[in-house]
Structure 1
Amino acid sequence: MTMTTELGGKAPRGLRATALEKLDDAVCAALRDSEVEHAREVLSTALARCAAAEAVVPAQVRACVEAADDHLGYGECMEARTLLTVAHHLLTPVHVPRPSRPGDVALGG
């Protein structure tokens, strides 16, 4: 099933990026949520939105979120938190500042 816009085209790139941002928001919300069933619902909804927007969820992220859902289903909250933390770090890009000019950063030996 593909999601279409009013113009009949496939989901635009911005919509896919927003779906991934919403997935990260859902992961963070699940980490904060004390109610297990609500956390599972938030994660499930976010994955469904990614699918509807044709957003490519990295395999490692999907595996972590799905495994966390399984652990939550068994009441294993610490295991789920670990997996959700990994998913969050995989979804959040790390920004490393670049040197302003060559030679600004010296590699030590």
Structure 2
Amino acid sequence: MTVTTELDETSLRQIRMTALEKLDNAVCSALADVEGHDARKGLREAVAACAAAGAVVSPQVVGCVEAAEEHLRFGERMEARMLLTVAHRLLAGVRPAVVVPGPSTPGDVVLGR
């Protein structure tokens, strides 16, 4: 019996999107006035999870998060908040578009048989 751990492309894409959502959640948590050390730890872990999942994080987002971590390290909360807000807005543009089904046409749905 052979067991493989390879995932199909759809599963990999979902893992990457989950990693990006976790990064966005870490950014939002840091913005929600979480204590500086905890916020830095959460941001660092979320960026590492993106790298581990192979999720593409734009250099601008990574730069904002890293700079915000430095500001948090020195207790400069307003500067960190500004950078995290930019990172959050950039991450919001990465999420997949919602697929809206097209209008139905007569005969494409059969109810009860």
Rounded Cα–Cα distance in structure 2 between residues aligned with 1:27 and 1:34: 10
Cα displacement (A) at 1:93: 2.4
Deviating 4+ runs (over 4 angstroms):
none
Any stretches of 5+ residues in structure 2 without a counterpart?
98-113
Cα displacement (A) at 1:9: 5.0
Any stretches of 5+ residues in structure 1 without a counterpart?
1-5, 96-109
Match of 2:6 among 5, 8, 17: 8
Instruction: Please list the CA deviations of residues 65-105 of structure 1 after superposition, one character each: whole Å capped at 9, or x if unmatched.
Output: 0000011111111000000000000011298xxxxxxxxxx
Rounded Cα–Cα distance in structure 1 between residues aligned with 2:31 and 2:68: 10
Which residue number corresponds to residue 106 of structure 1? none
Q: Which has the larger radius of gyration?
A: 2
Instruction: Please list the CA deviations of residues 34-92 of structure 1 after superposition, one character each: whole Å capped at 9, or x if unmatched.
Output: 31100001101100100110111011000000000011111111000000000000011
1:38 aligns with 2:63: no
TM-score, normalized by length of structure 2? 0.73
Rounded Cα–Cα distance in structure 1 between residues aligned with 2:12 and 2:34: 35
TM-score, normalized by length of structure 1? 0.75
> Please, what is the CA RMSD of the aligned residues?
2.0
Relative to structure 1, is the Cα distance of residues 34 and 22 closer, same or farther in structure 2, using a 3 angstrom cutoff? closer
| Paired residue type of 1:22 | K
| Paired residue type of 1:26 | A
Q: How does 1:14-33 map to 2 (within 5 A)?
A: 14-33=14-33
Aligned residues: 90
SS in 2 for 1:12: helix
Cα displacement (A) at 1:13: 1.1
